[in-house]
Amino acid sequence: MATRNPQSAIPAAAVVCAAGSSSRMGGKVRKPYLILQGKPVLVWTLQALGKVRGLQQIVIVTRPEDRGMAQRTARRARLPRRVRLDFADGGARRQDSVLNGLRATLPACELVLIHDAARPFPSQTAMAEACAQARAVGAAILACRVKDTVKRETSSPVTRHSSPVIDETVPRAGLWLAHTPQVFRRQLILGLFERLAREAPDREVTDDAAVCELYRQPVALVESPATNLKITRPEDIALAKAYLKARVV
C-alpha cells in the first residue's frame, strides 16, 4: 500500500468560530465584521487560513441571524478553489459551537484547525509547525510564553469597596497564553468533544485543548508571535492597524 510522502500537504479543515457575542467590544457590529484597513476582520482571518498547505475546507460557525453577512464577507476573501466553504450554527457555549463545526468537517480531512474569527494574523510558520506536531502527537496549539509578572488576587478585599488585592505572585516559568488556531487529528478531537457532550454536558471548557487535557491527551505547545492578537476591545483595532502599517504581519 502506498504511503504518503512526509513532505506532502496534510489534508486539513478549519473551523472558524464567529458566533460570539462581542460584548467586550461594544457597538452594534460583531468583531468578525469590524473593518480593518478596508476589509472585515473575518476576511483577513480567512485569507490567512487559506494559505495553509493542504487546507481543503473552512467551516464558519455563526449565529443564524449572521449567516447572510458571513456568506457575503467570506466571498470577499477570494479563497483558493481547492478550499470548500461551509457553515454551521453556533450553540449556547463556545464548545457547542465548535462541536457543530467539527461535525460539518469532511471525513477525508486528517487534521482540523480550530480558530477564532477575530484573530486575523496567525503566523504561517507557526500554523505549519502546529499541523506537523498535531499529526505526530494528536494535538497542538499556538501559544505565547508569559513575559509579565503574574499576580493572583485574594478573595477577601481590604474593604467592601476596594479594588482587588494581591494574594500572591505566581511564578511565570512554564506558563503560556493560549492562542488559536489549535490543531488536532480530526477523528481524535471530534471523538473527545462528542464524549464530553455525552458524559459531562454541564462541564464548560474555555478552549479546545482543555478537552484534550480533561481526557489526558497530550497537547504540544507551538510558540506564536504576539502579533497573533485577538480583536477583543476597541484598542485592539488600533493595534492591528499598527501591525499592518509596520508590515509585521
Cβ atoms of 97 and 202 within 8 Å: the answer is no
Q: Specify if 164 maps to a domain.
A: no
Q: Specify if 1 maps to a domain.
A: no
Q: Specify if 125 maps to a domain.
A: yes
DSSP category for residue 39: E
**Nine cell digits for residue 71:** 456568506
Cα-based distances in Å from 106 to 15, 84, 184: 11, 10, 14
Q: Specify if 89 maps to a domain.
A: yes
Q: Specify if 29 maps to a domain.
A: yes
Q: Pairing mode, if any, of strands 111-116 and 176-185?
A: antiparallel
Specify the number of domains making up the chain: 1
Q: Specify if 6 maps to a domain.
A: no
Specify the amino acid at residue 144. Answer: C
Q: Give Cα 58 to chain centroid, integer Å.
A: 13
Other CB atoms within a 10 A radius of the CB of residue 181 amount to: 31
Q: Specify if 21 maps to a domain.
A: yes
Q: pTM score, two decimals? A: 0.92
| Number of Cα atoms under 13 Å in the Cβ half of residue 9 | 12
CATH of the domain at 19: 3.90.550.10
The residue behind cell 489549535 is: 182
Query: pLDDT tens track of the chain, all 249 residues?
Result: 444 444 468 999 999 999 976 555 556 788 999 999 999 999 999 999 999 999 999 999 999 999 999 999 999 999 999 999 999 999 999 999 999 999 999 999 999 999 999 999 999 999 999 999 999 999 999 999 999 999 999 877 777 777 888 999 999 999 999 999 999 999 999 999 999 999 999 999 999 999 999 999 999 999 999 999 999 999 999 999 999 999 999
Cis peptide before 6 (omega within 30 of 0): no
Q: Specify if 171 maps to a domain.
A: no
User: Could you tell me the residue range of the domain that residue 103 belongs to?
Assistant: 12-142+178-246
Q: What SS3 state is found at 169?
A: strand
